[in-house]
Structures are given as C-alpha cells and as structure tokens.
C-alpha cells in the first residue's frame, strides 16, 4: 500500500501541470511579492500577538453600544482579524518567504 502511494506521489510530482501550478503559486522575488507576503500573512499575526487583547477590548467597548449594522460588521471583522494570533498563518507566511528565495 505504501509503495502504491509513493508511486502515485512521484507521478504527481513529475507531472508538468503540477510543476506549472507550483511555479504560479510561488511568490515572486520582487519587492511587491515580498511585501505582499509580509503584509497579508506576517504583519497581522504579529499585531494580533502583541496588541490582540487591547484590540479586542476596544472593539467590545464599541460593540456594547447600539450601532448601525455596517459599523457592527466592521468592528466584528476587526475583532476576528486581530483578536488572537494564529501560529499557522505566521508560519505559513514565513514558509512562503523562504520558498520565494529557494
């Protein structure tokens, strides 16, 4: 069974469509590629780890008041984004940066 799985895996790895897809997913070694990975994956998690409790308290203080529905959704989105940090997203962002250079 393990031999079949390893053969299938080798087949997938050597397939040209797989190689092309991975090349398209790889972040570019440009300023914008690196900045994009840093801004969208790494920076929000660092902010969440450092100031997550403060941001959650701030959003909760605003949500305790009656707000229009749009503003309520905005505060809830901010709380979901920065409420608590995700080690997975942080490591994923670092992995993308490492992958970009190798």
Q: Is the pLDDT of residue 1 over 90?
A: no
Domain assignment present for 89: yes
**Which run of H or E residues covers position 88?**
helix 87-101
Residue 60 lies in a domain: yes
> What's the distance, CA 55 to chain centroid?
19
What contacts 24+ positions apart, CB below 8 Å, involve 56-60?
56/82, 56/83, 56/84, 59/83
6, pLDDT greater than 90? no
Structural domain of residue 38, as residue ranges?
28-101
Residue 72 in any domain: the answer is yes
Answer yes or no: is 8 within a domain: no
3 lies in some domain: no
pTM value is 0.69
**Residue indicated by tokens 């009656």:** 66
Residue predicted with more confidence, 9 or 98: 98
- Does the residue 1 lie in any domain? no
Structural domain total, the chain:
1
pLDDT (mean) for 31-46: 91
């Amino acid at each position: 069974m393990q031999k079949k799985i390893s053969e299938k895996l080798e087949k997938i790895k050597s397939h040209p469509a797989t190689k092309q897809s991975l090349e398209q997913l790889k972040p570019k070694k440009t300023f914008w590629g690196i900045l994009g990975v840093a801004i969208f994956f790494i920076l929000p998690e660092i902010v969440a780890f450092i100031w997550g409790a403060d941001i959650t308290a701030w959003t909760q203080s605003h949500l305790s008041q009656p707000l229009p529905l749009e503003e309520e959704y905005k505060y809830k989105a901010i709380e979901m984004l920065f409420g608590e940090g995700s080690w997975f997203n942080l490591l994923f962002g670092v992995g993308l940066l490492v992958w970009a250079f190798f």
